[in-house]
Amino acid sequence: MVDIQTPLTSTSPLVTEPAPRAPRQYRDRFLTFSPPAIGEEEIAAVVDTLRSGWITTGPKTREFERQFAASLQAEDALAVNSCTGALHIALAALGIGPGDEVITTTMTFCSTAHVIEHVGATSVLVDIEPDIMTMDPAAVAAAITPRTKAIIPVHYAGHPVDMNPIMALAEEHGIYVIEDAAHALPASYEDQPIGTIGHLTAFSFYATKNLTTAEGGMLTGSAELVERARIFSLHGMSRDAWKRYGVGGSWFYEVVEAGFKYNMTDIQAALGLVQLEKLTAMQNRRRLIMERYNQAFGARPEFQIPVERPNVDHALHLYVLRLNLDKFSVDRNRFVEEMFARNIGVSVHFIPVHLHPYYRDKYGWQPEDFPVAYREYQRMVSIPLHPQLTDTDVTDVIDAVLDVADIFGLEGKSA
């Protein structure tokens, strides 16, 4: 297990021009794209929970909610089984349903749009800003109609959406804002933590996220809205399970909504409490890796490195390298194949929502309907960025990327 607090070695200086390199020696073992950063502390916390006699939603879940809210200075927090669940109950708690429209971005994972469909509302997609690849506020303004009831901004890759114009539009039109912050822990916009800007904010603790509970999520917002969402999160009952079965609890409950089964367990919360303590150290490691990537790729004409605007703190969830395809003799898909051939796991985030058959067929969208998202999708590749990467791992990733560029880049050797 790699110590997540170990810095990159000072013997690998950051440079703006690549030095001549010896012939490549590829890794003999595959480098996983984004494994969970789980240590002995997390294992011990889970074992302690298993021995406690309380493994479902209980005191550790409540403590995780309390500490998480405090870490963001949010008014309240609700731990759930996933970010998808958090988004779904947010819409339900706000009374959004058939006849309503919800605006979100096409550059997101499908679950952001799915929850809109789940409550019977209409998905309205908008295009992205080309630098940070988050929803374009001007496109949002153009998409608002009298039926618009909510906006779901997605903080893509960990970079916050430009929230001031989004919140101004919401106030002007009486619209709710539900932030999809699956990538955005910890991030901030204009010195305000993500999780405290919109009316409600949904976080993900999936295995690949900056903080993981294996599966899980959190919803933050005002105490009033979170309490309403809490009812929806567990069958619509007026009392949740741990109050019914704990000391001083009552057997009596009433079902006041047609709710869902989205509660988090104490096993998951035990993981989350330890991960929350480690979050700063893990983020510091991510920052060092990102800086090294930027220095390695920033001077190469074949690449566009991620942008970080000066008014934000980036959560550094993904390192999305964009290929300047006019400088390559191959496309993005071949680039991905070449990285796998060098034993480096990479991915693509994301296939835009409007390209998926369900949404394409239901709404009649064409690829060029959202031209910026479609263009950027065709040239993006996510390379490994996680706190367990060793200095050698980082070097291997850099060498593999530059090797592919040297072989297939038009300014170097031709394929």
- Exactly one of 149, 209, 243, 261 is catalytic; which is it? 209
Q: Using CA atoms, how far apart are residues 415 and 409, in angstroms rounded to an integer?
A: 8
Who contacts 166 (Cβ-Cβ below 8 Å, separation ≥6)?
A: 135, 137, 140, 151, 153, 177
Active site residue 209: yes
Q: What span, in angstroms and rounded, lies between the C-alpha atoms of 125 and 139?
A: 9
DSSP letters, 34-86, are ------HHHHHHHHHHHHHT--SSSHHHHHHHHHHHHHHT-SEEEEES-HHHH
Give dist(CA 211, CA 214) in Å, integer: 9
CB atoms within 10 A of CB 117: 15
Identify whether the C-beta of residue 186 lies closer than 8 Å to the C-beta of residue 193.
yes
51 is written with which tokens?
């021995």
- DSSP-derived 3-state class of residue 412: coil
| DSSP reduced 3-state for 291 | helix
| Greatest distance between any 2 Cα atoms in the chain | 74
Tokens at 67, concatenated: 């500490």
CB neighbourhood size of 170 (10 A)? 21
- Please report which helix (H) or strand (E) contains residue 200, including its range: strand 200-204
Residues with active-site annotation: 209
